[in-house]
Copies of this chain bind each other. A is one copy, B any other.
Amino acid sequence: MAVELFHKNETLQMRKKLIAQSCRLFFSHDPVKIVRARGQYLYDENGTQYLDCISNVQHVGHSHPSITQVAGAQMDLLNTNTRFLHDNIVQYADRLAATLPKKLSVFYFVNSGSEANDLALRLARQYTRHQDVIVLDHAYHGHLTSLIDISPYKFRKLEGQKEWVHVAPLPDTYHGIYREDHPEPGQAYADTVKSLIEEAHKKGRKISSFFAESLPSVGGQIIFPTGYCKRVAEYVHEAGGVYVADEIQTGFGRVGSHFWAFQLEGEDFCPDIVTMGKPMGNGHPIACVVTTEEIAGAFTANGVEYFNTFGGNPVSCAIGLAVLDVIEKEDLRGNAVRVGGHLKQLLLQLQEKHLLIGDVRGVGLFIGMELVKDRESREPATEEAAHLVRRLKEDRIVMSTDGPWDSVIKFKPPMCFSKEDANRVVTCIDQILTELEDVQKEDCGKS
């Protein structure tokens, strides 16, 4: 067992004093202190095990020995910057290129998804010489000044919407303006983007880019209706803009059937810029932007160097390569298909039993279960979702919510998550929802 340096209370007191309060803790009223982890399991200071359903960053599993081994070996050898030639960066770019459509062939390595999205914004603007950006409602693209501007999830609580930002409706067929009964929701939602472009043009504004996660995460674990991306890309290209696919949460095989979530749209769809991050280094700070020769060429043509101090260093790239190796060797994409499919099936069965479950959606190990107070009105059951998360913690399961009303239970576990883990969490959810419904019935009977 890992040794604690401070008692939990002392850690908490030091944290309150020394670490900014804007950096929040999970379960803030009774936070968890985790001292070690392996695979999909976390251990607190007393050795209590928690099942981790949300750490998508620790993609191939917490503290995977082969990642640690590779990182240590490269650290012992060399860690310098990209101004020196090194094999790791080119080998890693080559391996990533093999997972992508041919036209996405030029790489920039950075340290975080936020850095990647900021660079994508710079690339799009330099290439198109346009300024404006279209984003999806409720989107979150990062914590930097430039990204808060394109993140309705954040800017609505802060400085508000800039004149160069245009917010398209989230193509959510459960809650959105077009639902599952619409004959062509993909086309209908794409047309909202077309309208936004037309409105912007009327004001004399020009679109540099459409920015979207390939599966909106903070937005509520949304799966785009078929054809949406392809049609949007056509409209955006017609306007002289580029399509930026933010794969920071969804890439590296999480959807199982494909390496990138944008590939769910079919082989004839290809974004112009793809950003990647979180799972890329299994927790090590590494992220990336890949684009076309044309877009990269326009950026080079400005004659200004792009230097990222840590980005693409030999250690980061060695770790990135090791992550790719583990995904392959342990068939984690196959596991995402099998376990994700099993989990979704169990949740769909649970939906038949519990009226609270309004919707179950997802692909691979990217699954959302939305709680509603009423299946007709689809009113979000925010408090019930919060209760479920708190109760699961008592059952030693770490879970979290997402979506505009925090009513979506999100599953984004390490990719080694097993069918047994899925069975365990669904059994617990079943029991907690039953308790919740019993209390609600009792309250009903009383009133």
Which residues from chain A sit less than 8 Å from chain B, CB to CB? 2, 4-6, 8, 11-12, 14-15, 17-26, 31-37, 42, 55, 57-58, 62-63, 65, 67-68, 71-72, 75-87, 89-91, 93-94, 97, 105-108, 111-115, 118-119, 121-122, 143-146, 154, 157-158, 277-278, 282-286, 296-297, 299-300, 302-310, 312-313, 315-316
Contact = CB atoms under 8 A, between A and B. Distances in A.
B80 A55 contact: yes
Given A115-B112, A306-B143, A22 B296 contact: yes
A24 B83 contact: yes
Given A37-B77, A112-B309, A285-B285, 5 more contacts: A15-B85, A37-B80, A63-B75, A67-B75, A72-B72
A157 B302 CA distance: 8
B93 A18 contact: yes
A418 B9 CA distance: 45
Nearest to A22: B306
Nearest to A7: B87
Given A90-B18, A158-B304, A283 B11 contact: no
A31 B85 contact: yes
Contacts of A113: 309
A2 B91 CA distance: 16
A28 to B, nearest CB: 9
Contacts of A34: 78, 80, 84-86
A122 B105 CA distance: 34
Nearest to A145: B146
A303 B157 contact: yes
Contacts of A283: 79-80, 310, 313, 315
A20 B115 contact: no
A77 B4 CA distance: 12
A73 to B, nearest CB: 9
Contact of A106 (B20, B24, B80): B20
7 contacts: A19-B90, A23-B82, A31-B85, A34-B85, A37-B78, A37-B79, A143-B307
A37 B305 CA distance: 25
Contact of A87 (B6, B55, B89, B308): B6
A105 B19 CA distance: 8
Contacts of A76: 63, 65, 68
B91 A79 contact: no
Given A35-B77, A115-B114, A300 B14 contact: no
Given A105-B18, A112-B308, A310-B285, A33 B97 contact: no
B154 A33 contact: no
A75 B71 CA distance: 9
Contacts of A303: 157
A26 to B, nearest CB: 4
A80 B42 contact: yes
A283 B8 CA distance: 31
A87 B143 contact: no
A79 B285 CA distance: 11
Contacts of A115: 111-112, 114-115, 144
A313 B6 CA distance: 17
A270 to B, nearest CB: 18
A18 B107 contact: yes
Nearest to A17: B105
A309 B108 CA distance: 19
Contacts of A106: 18-20
Contacts of A313: 283
Contacts of A72: 68, 71-72, 75
